[in-house]
Amino acid sequence: MGYTDQRFDVNLSILFTELPLLERPAAAAAAGFTAVELWWPWIDTPTPAQEELDALKKALEDAGTQLVGLNFYAGQLPGPDRGAVSVPGAESDRFRANIEVAAEFAASVGCKALNALYGNRVEGADPAVQDELALENLVMAARAADRVGAVLLIETLNEPESPLYPLVSAPSAIEVVDKVNGATGLGNAKFLLDLYHLAMNGEDLSEVIEKYAAKTGHVQIADKPGRGAPGTGELPLEDLLDQLRKAGYQGFVGLEYKAADAAASFGWLPAEARAAR
């Protein structure tokens, strides 16, 4: 067990960001990784030109990297936004315009996990109305994901860094997962279990794993405090990942941490353990 027993992928929206997007897959490959994930790379548009999508597909393929996770359009992220599904008006419209684009792109590169960030509470909007809108949009996203053989991920963020985001506990995200699955009957909505965000919320990580491993579709990690690489903080990440594995989780673990020099930040993981198995 331990780190060498996991299937890791590199989040190219937080690591290697000193490079242009299309150079990041090759950088991850040069560091020994064969699996990567991305936030929605075009923060200004839910519907980028086909040439841009094709160029990203080519960059992934040329590097020999498999995209294993992709966010739907999520507004200005990085930035003030935390998704669009519950945000009334233009943002919800943008999310809907993005659903088929993101699903088709995922299908074209064999990506099996699509993450829909819930979106912030909006001043003056009724939370119940926002939640109703979110469910409508998530049902559409779940159906689109299902058509391309993918799961829909629902993520808990952390309150200190995302004070307007309503899903800041594991149970709050699980509730949405269950509602979406209840509405679609597809069972492909899953929990994105991010150990950093849950730790920042003060949750009992072992308890969350014990309760929700079976509903987990993807895992992300960073150490706390600081959101750095494993070993830079206080979290027993190796033990927690072992616990997840023992609880039956077989999926990928996304490296979603900050590092001034990404290539130099992987010392905690032996080079021979970096290629996805």
Active site members: 155, 256
CA distance 177 to 188: 9
Give dist(CA 230, CA 222) in Å, integer.
Answer: 6
| DSSP result, 50-91 | HHHHHHHHHHHHHHT-EEEEEEPP-SSTTTT--BSTT-TTHH
- 225 cis-preceded (ω within 30 degrees of 0): yes
The structure tokens listed for 241 are 């990942």
Which backbone phi and psi does 272 adopt, to 5 degrees? -70, -10
Q: Which residues contact 198 (CB under 8 A, 6 or more apart)?
A: 156, 158, 170, 205, 208
Alpha carbon separation from 42 to 58, 101, 105 (Å, rounded):
16, 12, 13
3-class secondary structure, 48 = coil
From 232, 221, 254, 264, select the one nearest 30 (Cα to Cα): 264
